[in-house]
Amino acid sequence: MNRDQILRRNDEITAETDAVIRRGKEIVSKLESGAIKPDAPQVKEVLQQLIERRRIGNEFNAELTRLVHEQSDEPTRTPR
C-alpha cells in the first residue's frame, strides 16, 4: 500500500465506522424511550456491525505496523 492508498482506506474505514456509531446512537435512543426492546433484531445487528468494525480496524492497524517495520531496520515488536 502506498501513502495515498493508506489515507484513502483510513477515510473509508472512518466513514463506515462513523455510520455504524450513528446507527448505534439511534438504537440506544429507541431503547431508552421504549420504542424497541433489547432483544430487537436491530440491536443485535448494530452489535455485530460494531464487532466487524473493530476487526477491520485491527487488521488495518496490523497492516500499517507491518508496512512501517518493512521500511525500517527495527524488528517487529509485540505490543505490550
Inside any domain, residue 78: no
When pLDDT is averaged across residues 13-17 and rounded to a whole number, the result is 96
Specify whether the CB–CB gap between 22 and 16 falls below 8 A.
no
Inside any domain, residue 67: yes
DSSP 77: P
pLDDT in tens, 40-59: 999 999 999 999 999 999 99
Inside any domain, residue 58: yes
Inside any domain, residue 21: yes
Q: Which domain holds residue 33?
A: 3-71
pTM for the complete prediction?
Answer: 0.76
Number of domains in the chain: 1
What does the DSSP assignment read for 8-66? HHHHHHHHHHHHHHHHHHHHHHHHHHTSS-TTSHHHHHHHHHHHHHHHHHHHHHHHHHH
